[in-house]
């Protein structure tokens, strides 16, 4: 087996294992929802919301306090969606298939 074919197989294995390895860290899964709804609404939490923000959101009639967090804290997402991880895995699988196909075509044409 040549190097190009091995790289293709490694890309396919990484593309399959990456979403599977992310599953223990996923939050927001619900058995009542379907597969697509779970993929769209679940993700890996990147940071915890502060209790003051949660209280201000829970009580819509109250005056909200000014957000004193840093610029990074304000614009950093709270969750990395599972759909991005799955999309990257599918992309890596297709790259692996292309590498294997390219290796097969170069060996047959020679």
Answer whether residue 66 is part of any domain. Answer: no
Q: What is the structure's pLDDT at 29?
A: 86
CA 100, 104, 107, 110 torsion-angle sign: negative
pTM of whole model > 0.75? no
Answer whether residue 33 is part of any domain. Answer: yes
Question: Does residue 89 have a pLDDT over 80?
Answer: yes
Which tokens in the block code for residue 9? 């197989």
Structural domain boundaries, residue 15? 3-59+72-109
Q: What is the structure's pLDDT at 52?
A: 52
Answer whether residue 45 is part of any domain. Answer: yes
The domain total for the chain is 1
Rg (CA), the chain: 21
Which tokens in the block code for residue 29? 């899964």
């Amino acid at each position: 087996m040549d190097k190009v074919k091995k790289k293709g197989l490694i890309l396919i294995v990484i593309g399959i294992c990456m979403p599977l390895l992310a599953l223990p860290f996923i939050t927001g899964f619900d058995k009542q929802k379907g597969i697509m709804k779970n993929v769209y609404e679940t993700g890996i939490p990147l940071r915890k919301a502060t209790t003051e923000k949660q209280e201000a959101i829970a009580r819509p009639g109250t005056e909200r306090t000014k957000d004193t967090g840093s610029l990074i804290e304000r614009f950093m997402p709270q969750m990395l969606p599972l759909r991005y991880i799955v999309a990257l895995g599918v992309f890596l699988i297709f790259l692996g298939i292309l590498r294997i196909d390219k290796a097969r075509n170069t060996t047959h044409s020679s």
